[in-house]
A and B are shown apart, each in its own frame.
Chain A
């Protein structure tokens, strides 16, 4: 079983739409959670960390449910520039896995005009 599972999509939505991505992780000892964004042929860039209480950054809202080991990302009022692959990333950060990130395969989003 993979450490992080994501629906690969693709999601194709019009500008202004609201879109939600989901992710599950298998290791209950996971401590840190992130959403990264990766544009085609580029390196991943941090979009936001995910906190247990949920957090919002402008049009982006992230939620974490530790009981069900589930992470979500909600994008409101989608822009053309939001088109990218969104990576769910988990860090166990303990013992032999210290600092190691586990990546989901990514969810592809295309926003059309």
Chain B
């Protein structure tokens, strides 16, 4: 089945460090990928929609200069948390949907394993 690989799975670093998270679709192409953040005991919140070859679309309240998104190919999107601080500590998850399923209903998205980010 469709697989999305997310790396790294766990990051612990000092405040002020920039952290890059990769999301790859391994056996399908995805012009659009989604980045979510989940705080403890809360639901997944969409941060931004990553579009291949164009600028990402950010949700209200998400700083685009803080969370840099690059989607340079049909199989890779990256999220960089710049100058991370303790309040950025969270579980970050990407998802992607097979390009071939667009336009069809009830086509699920495929999630990466998530990245647990802890900023000290």
Contact = CB atoms under 8 A, between A and B. Distances in A.
Given A34-B108, A51-B106, A103 B114 contact: no
A99 B34 contact: yes
Contact of A100 (B46, B105, B112): B46
Instruction: Give the size category of A's interface with B.
Output: 20 to 34
Interface in A93-113: 93, 98-101, 103-106
B44 interface: yes
B32 interface: yes
Contacts of B102: 98-99
B44 A103 contact: yes
A42 B113 contact: yes
Nearest to B107: A32
Given A99-B49, A105-B42, A43 B34 contact: no
Instruction: Please report whether the interface of chain B is mostly helix, strand, loop or mixed according to DSSP.
Output: loop
A71 interface: no
Interface string B89-115: 001010101000010011111011110
A43 B113 CA distance: 5
A59 interface: no
Instruction: Please report whether the interface of chain A is mostly helix, strand, loop or mixed according to DSSP.
Output: loop
B43 interface: yes
Contact of B114 (A42, A49, A50): A42
B116 interface: yes
A49 B82 CA distance: 37
B42 A41 contact: no
Interface of A: 31-34, 41-46, 49-51, 87, 93, 98-101, 103-106
Interface of B: 6, 32, 34, 42-46, 49, 91, 93, 95, 97, 102, 105-109, 111-114, 116
Given A43-B111, A100-B34, 6 more contacts: A32-B106, A43-B113, A49-B106, A87-B44, A93-B105, A103-B44
